[in-house]
Structure formats: structure tokens, C-alpha cells
Amino acid sequence: MKQTPLDRDQHSAGYWQSPWPVECGGNRRQKARTGRLDAAKGTAEVTLVENDRWNVMAIRRDPDEWYLGGTTPAFTGPPPFGWVTRFDPFSLQPTAESPRLPCGDHVWCGAILAHKDGSIMSVNGSFLHRLDPNDLSVINELELPVDRAHNGLLSLSDGTLVTKDLRLEGQGGTTITFIDPHGLEVIETLVLPEGSMGRIASDFQNGVDSVFVPGTEHIWRIDVDNKKAAISDWTCRYREPGSDWGLAWDSCISDGHLWLMDCGDVEGVRAIHHQLPNGRFEKPAGKLLSWQRPAPWKGAQRLLRVDQSYGSVQSIEPFGNPGGGIIAPPVHVPELSLAFAWDSINGGLAGISTNETLEPVWHLDIRPSMQPVVFPESGELIINDFTRDQTDDIVVVNMTDGEVLSRVHTGSRIANGMFLSAGDHRDIYYCSTLSWGRIAWI
């Protein structure tokens, strides 16, 4: 299947001109970078920074101008706060640091982006900040309408910002908030009929921004036309209430479909979001927050393919092991007609043919948990493997046959569902709890 112009995230008018201005590289969350890593032809070098923070994602503005955003893992004790750092792309030394950013006392992974006006936007907990890109001072601050943790922040085609609060099953409807980027003033809010855990994805076609929201039972679409947002009559049921599967994380929009994995509200996620403020406990929660705990359902991990036009669903269980679970979404590569899914609780990574039916073409015995990066030109998938020795490695996998081309020990002993970002110099930025780093192949 040949790639069409709509198959790949193009630079959006809402962002600074950059190949990676936002999480996953673009609003379609395709996690793809042009060029080649060619990891098999190089030797990997690791620079790891231990900062005792919850490091979420790295984004790029101008060439070699990178920003790291995150929160603090203050599940107990002193109040948490958000933060953004500009860093040297090679040494990782900070070149600017934001003040401590209020987050409404919520502990959860927010998001940052490089807006088309040049500023850096940060959502964390129940607050949104607009930061000066040079010294990261606060230009504007907005306390969001809903006092819950928010996840995901995107800029639409005209620069309007959109974010959402996070709600699990039985916690009421999720609020989608649209915000003017300059004064950080709320333009409009929409409340969905059900909660939503996963982050939003967006597509822009025929002059309309369509925002896709994974709910507790349905995938919802919100159409934004001339700054007016409305819940579309397009909908897709992917899960029955009380079923043997958990909730879906984010969509990857590719090849006319949404690609998702369910079984995402694992015990650790439930523990965080059953607290108010989210993620704050009176006493240390310990292993209660671990994503490695047995799943609270019987179903095997599923990959879902949702038709972007009609909402019809196909699914596959690539591994078949009961009690599957994940904390990050899948990726689809239209150039290869392949999707990639995994089971973080039981282990396993699969390459899945997406031509007509969904069919696994290879399996790999590793244990991923992160948001990956793909290089379609060279056929490389970069993802983590949390090993049996409880160390987090980065692996580069040949997407066509599952061969491991490179394995790199990061030095981190914690794996989570955070973001890998594709750098400019055959390198990858790695984010986890308590540490973050750069892996470069030279």
C-alpha cells in the first residue's frame, strides 16, 4: 500500500516549524521521523540524567533547541509542581528553567508543545501555562475549569489549544476545553457523555479539525469548524460495560483508521485517579502504583482498528494471554502496512500485517511500556524493554521481521509509559521517572 499525503503527519499551522513540536511528533500521533537512525551501523552512547523528577516528554522548537517537561512524583509529602527545562541537546545540561508551575496538587503526566507563536505551552494537573521560549518565565497562567488532572495538549490548525481532564469508568463525563493561546482564555468547553482516560488525537481535513477522544465505552469525535466545536454524530463502540477488557489509551491516526489498544486502566492508573487530588496519598502507596500488578480483568490485550469514516471496529489479540495490559498506545506505519502492539503486563511485542485482515507476522519476547518512535525510511522501531532484571533497555527493531538491531542499557531501573522523542543527530531522547537521557548512535 502506497503512502498518501494524508497518511503522514505534516507540519501543522498550529505549531512552530519543527519536526517534533509536540508529543508523538504531531496531532495524528504517528510517532514517525523522516530520515534514518541506522542503529545497526553505529555504536550507542548513553547520557543519563538522574533528577528525581517525573520526566514526561522532550519537544523541539528551532534546530538544537529542545525542551523537557514534566512534574514531580510527589505522591505524598510536599505539594507537586510542573516544570519545563530548555537543555543542551548533546550534554543535556539545562540552559533555562521555568519556575515551579502550579498544578492544583495533582500528580500526573501532563504535556508541553512549541506553539506557532513561538511560546512553549505546558499543561500539568489543572493548570495551563504559556512560557517565554528563552528564559521560560510565565507569560500567562490559566486555572482550567475542571479541578482534575489533565492529559494531552494539542494545537489545532488555527493555533487554538485543546486539552481534557482524565476520568475513569464511573467518574462522570470528561470535559474538553478549547483555549485561546495568547491570553489563555477559555473559548468553550464540551462535556462528553462518558469519561475518558486516553489522550486526544486530531486530524485536519476539508477545513475541519476533528478531535478524537477515547471514552470508557466509545470513541468520540469533536469537529471544530470556524472555532465552533460540536460533538459529532460519528461514534464507535469499542467496549461493552462490564466486559473482560479495560479502557483504551490514545489513538494513532493513520491510513484512514484510528489504531488503539485497550486494557489500559491498570491498577496503578486506577489508584492514582481514584484519589482527589489525583495521585496524592496520605501515606506512601508503594507497589499499589506499579503497572506490573496483575490486570483487573480477564481479557487478552487487543489491538483495535477503527474506520475513520464509518466507525466500524476490527480487533485482534496478538498474544492471547489472559490479563493483558498496557500504559501506552500502539503505532501504525502505512509505508509498510504494519502495526505494532505489545502487552506490558505479560510481555511481548508483535508486528501485525494490516493489509486486509489483521495478522501477526512476528513476535518478540520483550516487555515494552513506552510511546515508541519509528523511522519508516529505514524500517526501524525504537521502543523500551523492561527486562526480567528490572532494568530499562532501549531496543531498535527491524519492523519487517522483528530482528533486534540494537540493544542499549539506559541505566534506568524504572519503566513507565512516557515518551521517546526523535532527535536531530541519530539520537533518541528517553523520559522516565527519576531519570531521563539521550541515546546516540555514532
98 closest CA partner among 155, 141, 145 = 141
- 5 confidence band (pLDDT: 50, 70, 90): very low
Note if the bond before 277 is cis, omega within 30 degrees: yes
Q: Report the pLDDT value the prediction gives residue 235, as an integer from 0 to 100.
A: 86
Q: Rounded distance, CA 324 to CA 217, Å? A: 18
- Look at residue 11 and tell me whether its pLDDT is greater than 60: no
**Mean per-residue pLDDT, 145-159:** 96
| Among the four given CATH numbers 1.10.1380.10, 2.60.40.10, 2.140.10.10, 2.30.40.10, the one describing domain 5-441 | 2.140.10.10
The 10s digit of each residue's pLDDT in 284-332 is 998 999 999 999 999 999 999 999 999 999 999 999 999 999 999 999 9
Neighbours of 51 (CB within 10 A): 16
Q: Report the pLDDT value the prediction gives residue 13, as an integer from 0 to 100.
A: 86
For the chain, what percent of residues have pLDDT higher than 70?
98
> What phi, psi does 6 have (nearest 5°)?
-85, -5
Contact 40, 405 (CB under 8 A): yes
What is the average pLDDT value for the chain, to the nearest integer?
95
In the numeric block, which cell numbers belong to residue 310? 464509518
Q: Report the pLDDT value the prediction gives residue 243, as an integer from 0 to 100.
A: 87
- Look at residue 123 and tell me whether its pLDDT is greater than 90: yes
The 10s digit of each residue's pLDDT in 52-71 is 999 999 999 999 999 999 99
The 10s digit of each residue's pLDDT in 350-399 is 999 999 899 999 999 999 999 999 999 999 999 999 999 999 999 999 99
- 7 confidence band (pLDDT: 50, 70, 90): low
Q: Report the pLDDT value the prediction gives residue 10, as an integer from 0 to 100.
A: 57
The 10s digit of each residue's pLDDT in 387-433 is 999 999 999 999 999 999 999 999 999 999 999 999 999 999 999 99
Please state the pTM of the whole predicted model. Answer: 0.96
For the chain, what percent of residues have pLDDT higher than 90?
95
The domain spans of the chain are 5-441
**Mean per-residue pLDDT, 228-252:** 94
- 195 confidence band (pLDDT: 50, 70, 90): very high
Q: Report the pLDDT value the prediction gives residue 8, as an integer from 0 to 100.
A: 66
Cα-Cα-Cα-Cα dihedral sign, residues 361, 363, 369, 372: negative
Q: Report the pLDDT value the prediction gives residue 387, as an integer from 0 to 100.
A: 96
Q: Report the pLDDT value the prediction gives residue 12, as an integer from 0 to 100.
A: 80
